[in-house]
A and B are shown apart, each in its own frame.
Chain A
């Protein structure tokens, strides 16, 4: 495991990032990057944004600024995933830091032939699940307990059209709609909310979701179907309650 070589190296690396660039282009350290096999020595490549894998490879050979670039590059997307998943800003921040600490500690074990992004989300999702379990933040309600795991597709038959067509979202103010959707999403079982976020918001292909969650491809599909059905059903029920009141 590579250790940080100076007391303020990471801090210095963060300061070297170019403001306004989500990925942070390099200002220095090009000599180190020349030694990274995955970076081809052409001028066109030097001008392009380095890939995640190139950044991690550079970090492994001693360029700490590359690690700062990775954290900077993923701060918005990963934080959005975490805050939506755990439903708590402070907890999301903590899990975010834990995830990148794990990346730092496991950087040398990462297979550079694989993609960094699914690996990062695998780590983050595991950390988030651990946090949810340890804090017992959302105990299973009697209603949730009646819901199947989502890994099979049993249940009473109901046409999705009816629930979708009666949703009154056109009549709601934007803020009210946001809160209602958020409440519905947070009422989902963790494993259904997790897979829906990964697929819908972060657009991971089914195969990568299978790897992130370590479940078979068929389970990805059935669980995602269950997630959409659950969300639609909860939305329908909430809407019926609102109409009656």
Chain B
């Protein structure tokens, strides 16, 4: 069976992902009560699952290779990126 959201679910998604992200449209104090605590919790639990979605960090030489590719495409000769040098620079980057 395909799932369909209730209007409260949709409102809660908009609150969490849309309108809440813009300070100009902060939700009214009574919104949560109006939407219903159960719907708030349900949508939040669904979205919380996404937090564990992994994302691999970029390779340490991604910037260098990107710049080299752009330079090559622009018709300019450019030295190949030095992997060690790039790694040294990124080694100082905060996690």
| Residues of chain A lying within 8 A (CB to CB) of residue B85 | 15
Partner of B67, one of A14, A76, A156: A14
User: Are A178 and B54 in contact (CB-based, < 8 A)?
Assistant: yes
Partner of B46, one of A14, A224, A232: A232
Shortest beta-carbon distance from A177 to chain B in Å = 5
- Provide the B68-94 mask, 1 if CB < 8 A to any CB of A, else 0: 111101111111010001000101111
User: Are B64 and A20 in contact (CB-based, < 8 A)?
Assistant: no
| Residues of chain B lying within 8 A (CB to CB) of residue A79 | 55-58, 62
Q: Known: A196-B50, A205-B22, A228-B46. Contact between A160 and B71, CB under 8 A?
A: no
Is A72 in contact with chain B by the CB < 8 A criterion? yes
Partner of B71, one of A10, A15, A201, A229: A10
| Residues of chain B lying within 8 A (CB to CB) of residue A159 | 6
Partner of A200, one of B6, B50, B68, B79: B50
- Provide the B30-48 mask, 1 if CB < 8 A to any CB of A, else 0: 0000000011011101110
User: Are B64 and A11 in contact (CB-based, < 8 A)?
Assistant: yes
| Residues of chain B lying within 8 A (CB to CB) of residue A22 | 93-94
State the CA gap A221–B11 with chains docked (Å). Answer: 10
Is B59 in contact with chain A by the CB < 8 A criterion? yes
Is A101 in contact with chain B by the CB < 8 A criterion? yes
Counting residue pairs across A and B whose Cβ atoms lie within 8 Å, the total is 191
| Residues of chain B lying within 8 A (CB to CB) of residue A167 | 45-46, 49
Q: Known: A160-B42, A167-B45, A185-B50. Contact between A233 and B2, CB under 8 A?
A: yes
| Residues of chain A lying within 8 A (CB to CB) of residue B78 | 7-8, 10-11
User: Are A158 and B54 in contact (CB-based, < 8 A)?
Assistant: no
Q: Known: A11-B68, A20-B94. Contact between A153 and B4, CB under 8 A?
A: yes
Interface size on A, residues (CB 8 A): 73
- Tell me if A's interface is mostly helix, strand, loop or mixed: helix
User: Are A164 and B62 in contact (CB-based, < 8 A)?
Assistant: no
Shortest beta-carbon distance from A164 to chain B in Å = 4
State the CA gap A156–B76 with chains docked (Å). Answer: 58
State the CA gap A158–B14 with chains docked (Å). Answer: 19
Smallest CB-CB separation from A94: which chain B residue? B69
Shortest beta-carbon distance from A14 to chain B in Å = 6
Q: Known: A200-B47, A228-B47. Contact between A7 and B76, CB under 8 A?
A: yes
Q: Known: A93-B62, A163-B3. Contact between A225 and B57, CB under 8 A?
A: no
Q: Known: A104-B74, A206-B18. Contact between A158 and B58, CB under 8 A?
A: no
State the CA gap A234–B78 with chains docked (Å). Answer: 48
Q: Known: A196-B50, A224-B17. Contact between A161 and B38, CB under 8 A?
A: yes
Is A181 in contact with chain B by the CB < 8 A criterion? yes
Q: Known: A71-B67, A225-B10, A232-B3. Contact between A182 and B46, CB under 8 A?
A: no
Give me 5 A-to-B residue pairs in the complex whose CB atoms sit less than 8 angstroms apart, sorted by A's number. A22-B93, A83-B55, A164-B42, A177-B52, A199-B18
Chain A residues at the B interface, C-beta cutoff of 8 Å: 3-4, 6-11, 13-15, 17, 19-20, 22, 67-68, 71-72, 75-76, 79-80, 83-84, 89, 93, 96-97, 100-101, 104, 146-147, 153-161, 163-165, 167, 169, 174, 177-178, 181-182, 185, 196, 199-201, 203-206, 221, 224-225, 228-233, 235-236
